[in-house]
Amino acid sequence: MNRRAADAALAFNTLVWGATFTLVKSALRDVSPVLFLALRFSLAAGALGALWFVTGRRPKTEGRTIRGGILAGILLFGGFLLQTLGLQFTTPPKSAFLTGLASVMVPLLGALVYRVKPQALEVLGVLVATTGLGLMTLDGPVGSLGKGDLLTLLCAVAFAGHIVTLGHYSARTSFEMLALAQIATAAGLALGLFWWVEPLHIVWNPAVIYAILVTGLLATALAFTIQAWAQKFTSSTRTALIYTLEPVFAWLISYGALGEGLAGRAAAGAALILGGVVLVELKPFGSRLHP
């Protein structure tokens, strides 16, 4: 029952995150990216802190939890920073599919961390997904990638590291404190950077306010608390598999809201990326890595 509930909760996260690609894309016209992240993560950290205070639930504080939360928060902030910057130069569907490559990287990073040799099926899945990546992003000469595509690809590496880190620490620590520590770390990094890494710009209009509220409360505070809890009961690789639903939701929502779909060649590449992800993840349960 716990595993089924965890899987359902993670699937809910993918729906929320898939919807935010278009929302963030629209908001970034009127707010600078790192400032947006600072507002988003600060709101999320404040909301979680207030929730624990009002309900009287004091998250258990341990050195292991704090260390895990800080590491997860650094990877989380790095992933969102790269994704938000990349989203300025690429479309929401492209950003979603490239971010989805994190699911391919999770078992490979897990193998590296835990010294388990990758299976041949995992290597094949990476090759298939890489071929799809080329079809989606190589619009110009062979070997060229757009600026937004490269930034988003690096964000996938950070998000893969985040999933593996949570998989390692969640089973051994308080999920409430793990969630709060990682979000507070991401907020601190964003607040320390936004004022000097970019020209500050914000227009307080309904679209920006709505984006901050939705991403801060639903897509950050709620979603990452859910993930910290859910990874107590399911493996990192299964989490990554469920998260492959995110680009599907993002593509459908973006197409419905903005008419931004994928051309035939890019759609074939997207199908190969998902095929590679599924090929890697759909292994017999006995062979799954479980940090």
The Cα 70–Cα 275 span in angstroms is 33
Tens digit of each residue's pLDDT (9 = 90 or more) over 56-73: 776 666 788 899 999 999
pLDDT of 77 reads 95
Residue 219, CA distances (Å) to 24, 62, 190, 208 in order: 11, 26, 17, 15
Q: Largest alpha-carbon pair distance within the chain?
A: 59
Phi, psi (rounded to 5 degrees) for 31: -150, 140
The tokens describing 227, both together, are 């993930």
Q: Which residue type does 90 have?
A: T
pLDDT of 270 reads 75
Spatial contact of 82 and 190, defined as CB atoms under 8 Å apart: no
Give the residue among 140, 145, 24, 135 at the shortest CA–CA distance from 87: 24
Collect all residues with Cβ–Cβ distance below 8 Å to 143 and sequence separation of at least 6. none
| Regions of the chain where pLDDT drops below 70 | 1, 58-61, 92-93, 114-119, 122-123, 133, 136-145, 247-248, 250-263, 277, 280-291
Tens digit of each residue's pLDDT (9 = 90 or more) over 154-211: 999 999 999 999 988 887 788 888 999 999 999 999 999 988 878 889 999 999 999 9
